């Protein structure tokens, strides 16, 4: 199989929620003992060498639409690709081989605050072209049953066309057993005492401000407690800083910025008393799964895909109810038996998100798609 992939998501070496599973899959692919070749199409040279069977083809990108719909499909033809995979919802409409599209969520069509931010033209784009891409793809990969149902409902795609494979949790996410490593991390980030952790971005749907409100309610009961909000300092970040100042919690709430994989995020997870993510919308929700892998108890939303990912390995709360969030955190801080039970369940469930297992499922899905769909040319 000659597998082609739109790999622009990993060309800068900083992996997003889309890029991390792709990088995990490529490491798995490179280790396979067969003659398969993977061609990574990008607009800049990918800085990671995945081995001799993973080839990078760089196509200059002046206009994204031209790259997507003209340069890419003809490069696919030139390279003799058997199956093309796009980690985005968009695919080349000129097809020279079977095509798989990834649709991980439909946030901009479903989450009302984001709908309001879009211009009428952008809303039309997501609704109309998104639907066209979904129907044009031979198969769709999504990461949760929740997202699959959204795709069926919004785009009218038949059940048989959509395959669910969960996102992968990288092997770097594990419990740190060396206390010295955790202590060194604490010194680096100036963390004293116990702490609650959130890790992710500060976009509106993450609902991070409610973590601050819940934390403020807990401080009188747990005066030594800290709150670590790890994420890029953008989107709602200024408002989060203001909330911290309004509660006079500047010395208790830390903003270390975005934590990359080389920063060893498993240390932050491992040192935390509890991981909190009261998100309003998720297509999957990778950070709670990463926390589970690091044996950190989880408090998370009872909405969208999160109950599917966390199940009963975390305390699920109404993300709009600050008192529920605070009460759940308090229970974990005070009830050692509960915390241990959540950790035990989480370790069992997170096996389903193992990067080798999920990458194998994705690979098998690609092979089956190629088997079912004979190469055709449609222009």
pLDDT digits (tens, 9 = 90+) for 132-175: 999 999 999 999 999 999 999 999 999 999 999 999 998 999 99
- 247 within 8 A of 177, measured Cβ to Cβ: no
**pLDDT-derived band at 378, boundaries 50, 70, 90:** very low
**Do the two domains 2-168+355-372 and 179-351 of this chain adopt the same fold?**
yes
102, β-bridge pairs: 141
Regarding the domain with residue range 2-168+355-372, which homologous superfamily does it belong to in the CATH classification? Glycogen Phosphorylase B; (3.40.50.2000)
Q: What is the pLDDT of residues 280-303, one digit of tens each?
A: 999 999 999 999 999 999 999 999
Query: Does the domain formed by 179-351 have CATH 3.40.50.2000?
Result: yes
Q: What is the pLDDT of residues 41-93, one digit of tens each?
A: 999 999 999 999 999 999 999 999 999 999 999 999 999 999 999 998 999 99
49 token code pair: 């060498």
Lowest mean pLDDT among 77-81, 82-86, 183-187, 211-215: 183-187
Beta strands (DSSP E) in 131-264 are 139-142, 162-164, 195-199, 226-230, 253-254
- 243 within 8 A of 212, measured Cβ to Cβ: yes
369 token code pair: 């798609």
Is it the case that residue 113 has pLDDT exceeding 90?
Answer: no
Alpha-carbon distance values, 97 to 26, 75, 244 (Å): 20, 12, 53
Query: In whole numbers, what is the pLDDT of the chain averaged over residues?
Result: 94
Model pTM score:
0.92
Q: At what angle do helices 322-334 and 209-218 cross, to 10 degrees?
A: 50
**To 5 degrees, how large is the angle CA 131–CA 6–CA 50?**
150
Domain boundaries, the chain: 2-168+355-372, 179-351
């Amino acid at each position: 199989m000659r597998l082609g992939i739109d790999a622009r998501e990993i060309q800068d070496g900083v992996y997003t929620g889309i890029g991390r599973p792709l990088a995990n899959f490529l490491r798995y692919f490179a280790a396979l003992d067969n003659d398969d070749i993977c061609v990574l199409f990008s607009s800049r040279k990918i800085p990671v060498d995945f081995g001799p069977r993973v080839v990078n083809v760089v196509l200059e990108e002046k206009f994204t639409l031209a790259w997507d719909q003209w340069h890419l499909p003809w490069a696919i033809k030139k390279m003799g690709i058997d199956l093309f995979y796009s980690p985005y919802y968009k695919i080349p409409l000129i097809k020279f081989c079977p095509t798989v599209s990834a649709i991980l969520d439909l946030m901009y069509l479903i989450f009302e605050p984001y709908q309001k931010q879009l211009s009428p033209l952008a809303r039309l784009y997501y609704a109309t072209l998104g639907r066209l891409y979904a129907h044009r793809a031979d198969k769709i990969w999504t990461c949760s049953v929740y997202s699959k149902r959204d795709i069926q409902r919004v785009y009218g795609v038949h059940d048989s066309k959509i395959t669910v494979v969960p996102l992968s949790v990288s092997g770097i996410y594990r419990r740190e057993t060396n206390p010295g490593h955790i202590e060194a991390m604490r010194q680096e980030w100036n963390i004293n005492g116990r702490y609650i952790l959130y890790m992710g971005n500060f976009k509106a749907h993450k609902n991070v401000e409610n973590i601050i409100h819940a934390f403020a309610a807990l401080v009188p009961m747990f005066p030594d407690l800290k709150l670590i909000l790890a994420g890029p300092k953008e989107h709602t970040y200024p408002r989060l800083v203001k909330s911290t100042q309004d509660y006079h919690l500047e010395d208790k709430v830390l903003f270390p910025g975005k934590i990359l994989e080389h920063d060893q995020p498993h240390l932050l997870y491992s040192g935390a008393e509890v991981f909190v993510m009261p998100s309003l919308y998720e297509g999957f929700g990778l950070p709670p799964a990463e926390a589970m892998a690091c044996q950190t108890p989880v408090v998370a939303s009872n909405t969208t895909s999160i109950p599917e990912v966390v199940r009963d390995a975390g305390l699920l709360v109404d993300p709009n109810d600050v008192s529920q969030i605070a009460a759940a955190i308090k229970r974990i801080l005070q009830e050692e038996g509960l915390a241990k039970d959540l950790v035990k369940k989480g370790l069992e469930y997170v096996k389903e998100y193992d990067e080798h297992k999920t990458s194998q499922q994705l690979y098998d899905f690609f092979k089956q798609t190629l088997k079912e769909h004979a190469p055709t040319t449609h222009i």
